[in-house]
Amino acid sequence: MSFPKKGNLFPRAPSDDLVANYGAHSKIFAARVASALNDELGKTTAHVKIVAAWTGANERTVKNWFAGHYGPSGDHLVTLIKHCDTVLMAVLSMAGRDQLLIGADLPLPISSS
């Protein structure tokens, strides 16, 4: 039995510009999240354990976030935003939503119901 001749070509590799830009954006994201985490929790001795408990991530992974080697992925990022206002501010700033930073500093209104 012989294999068909179709489908034996690999897809083209992404352009170098695309790869270079992705890497740069990824590093900027990781650095901004690291800065936010260090500003909020870096002074505590249990900062890695606190973030690991919040997110359920491995402590080695959390150490990489604090060092800026990697940034958190989607579900971990949402959990960090839930617990850490400085991460929320960093994400809004990176997204170009600076107008929302003003509202993020305001306390939630007390409902009268």
Helix crossing, 16-41 with 59-67: angle to 10°? Answer: 100
Give CA angle at 105 (80, 39), nearest 5°.
50
70 DSSP assignment:
S
What's the pLDDT score for residue 21? 58
Per-residue pLDDT 10s for the chain (113 aa) are 665 666 666 556 655 555 555 567 889 999 999 999 999 998 889 999 999 999 999 999 999 999 999 999 999 999 999 999 999 999 988 888 877 777 656 555 555 54
What's the pLDDT score for residue 43? 86
What's the pLDDT score for residue 53? 97
pTM for the model: 0.70
Distances (CA, A) of 85 to 33, 90, 92, 100, 101: 11, 9, 11, 13, 10
